Amino acid sequence: MSSEKLLSAEQTRKLLHISKRKCAYLLEHRIIPCEITDRKTHRYLVREEDVLAYAERADEIILPPVFSSASGKSHRKEPDPRIGKSDFLQIWAKEPDALTPADVQRLTGYTGSTVRQWIRKGKLRSVTVQGRSLVAKEWLAEFMAGDGMRIWQKSEVHRHFLKRFCG
């Protein structure tokens, strides 16, 4: 292991975009080949080529349920239940066409800071009128049916929509 590029566990986990816990499991159980030292810190030395080899075959490896979905595949590859834009527009039929961030917060169940962050980052389209942000109901429905479905920790209201429309 002398001439190859060696990585620490932290570098390995960042390269693979995985948690510290999962990385430690993969290294400790030699799923990713490594050298385990007696040190308390920087305990693992991993060859970069072994990390890349693992990344190529990661979807084929079945890990214990704590690290994988029931199907044995990465949760990122699982299809999300979908609610269409028209479904959201149907739910919000009686709402005004122009919504304030407070309205968006009430309709989606997400916090005001989350809604303002979506707007600031451009994830949720808005216009500024007399110093106030306004979101078209159509834009909100578009967001919730698209990027909003990728929200990992959904609000109670969002989960209610999923239950109602997706079973």
pLDDT digits (tens, 9 = 90+) for 113-165: 999 999 998 999 999 999 999 999 999 999 988 877 777 788 888 888 888 87
Q: Do residues 10 and 70 share a domain?
A: yes
Sign (positive/negative) of CA torsion 20, 24, 25, 26?
Answer: positive
Cα–Cα–Cα angle for 32, 47, 41, rounded to 5 degrees:
80
Taken in order 19, 24, 29, 33, is the CA torsion positive or negative?
A: positive
Cα–Cα distances (Å) from 30 to 45, 66, 71, 72, 99, in that order, read 12, 17, 22, 19, 53
Q: Based on the domain organization, do 110 and 157 belong to the same domain?
A: yes
Domain count, the chain: 2
Question: Within this chain, do residues 109 and 162 fall inside the same structural domain, yes or no?
Answer: yes
- Segment 2-33, tens digit of pLDDT: 567 899 999 999 988 888 888 888 888 888 99
Measured distance CA(66)–CA(16) in Å, rounded: 18
Q: Is residue 1 part of a domain?
A: no
**pTM of the entire structure?**
0.52
Using pLDDT thresholds of 50, 70 and 90, give the confidence band for residue 81.
low
Q: Are residues 89 and 43 in the same domain?
A: no
Residue 72: alpha-carbon gap to chain centroid: 18
Instruction: Tell me which H or E stretch contains 16.
Output: helix 9-16
- Residue in 26, 22, 14, 16 with CA at minimum distance from that of residue 56: 16
